[in-house]
Amino acid sequence: MSARYLIPAALAALLLAPPVFAQPSDSTADSTEAQHAATADSAGVDVTFDISGFRNDDGLLMLALHNSEDTFPKKPEEAFRLATAEIIKGQVTITFVNLPPGEYALIYFHDEDLDEELDSNFLRIPKEGYGTSTVVKAGGPPSWDDAVFEVTEKPVRQALEVKYW
């Protein structure tokens, strides 16, 4: 039943390799996260996303953090970091730790049925929720320019909302 066994070996290796962690969103977690940030390697920057608006806690949230517009969003296997997260009470807080400064774009989707795909209907309109590092616009897959954000020396914390059509 574990979703991890559904993830292809190559992806699983990528998922396990990076120091990514997920934890439930919790208003009391700030001090814990601050401690975590303080102990992180000073060479990199932590980027945290608080994602809300999930219609249920089914399945998993699949995330791909890209650092190149050549891979975003069509080549998740070439993303800079991949992660999965459990949805708890309709929310996810996830931190990508120790990122080198640069430009990034996040894309994620709510894989409610655990088939590792963003399900869509016959009009190719997604049936599962998804989003990017910015506000999702209507009209097809998001572009790098729509979703890109910059990481400098300071930790980033961004609130996002999942989109269902």
Q: Which residues bind Ca ion (CB under 5 A)?
A: 111, 113, 115, 117, 119
CA 22 to chain centroid, in Å, comes to 10
Supply the minimum distance, in Å, between the C-beta of residue 119 and Ca ion: 4
Nearer to Ca ion, 58 or 113 (CB): 113
Strands 60-66 and 102-111, how do they pair?
Answer: antiparallel
Q: Which is nearer to Ca ion, 157 or 163 (CB)?
A: 163
Question: In whole angstroms, how close is the CB of 59 to Ca ion at the nearest point?
Answer: 7
On the 0-12 / 13-18 / 19+ scale of CB atoms within 10 A, 34 is exposed
Count Cβ atoms within 10 A of the Cβ of residue 143 and give its class: 0-12 exposed, 13-18 middle, 19 or more buried: middle
Q: State the nearest-atom distance from the C-beta of 145 to Ca ion, in Å.
A: 27
Residue among 30 and 113 whose Cβ is closer to Ca ion? 113
Minimum CB separation of residue 114 from Ca ion in Å reads 7
Q: Can you read off the two tokens belonging to residue 125?
A: 């309109």
DSSP string, 40-60: S-TTSEEEEEEEE--S---SE
Closer Cβ to Ca ion, 77 or 117, answer by number: 117
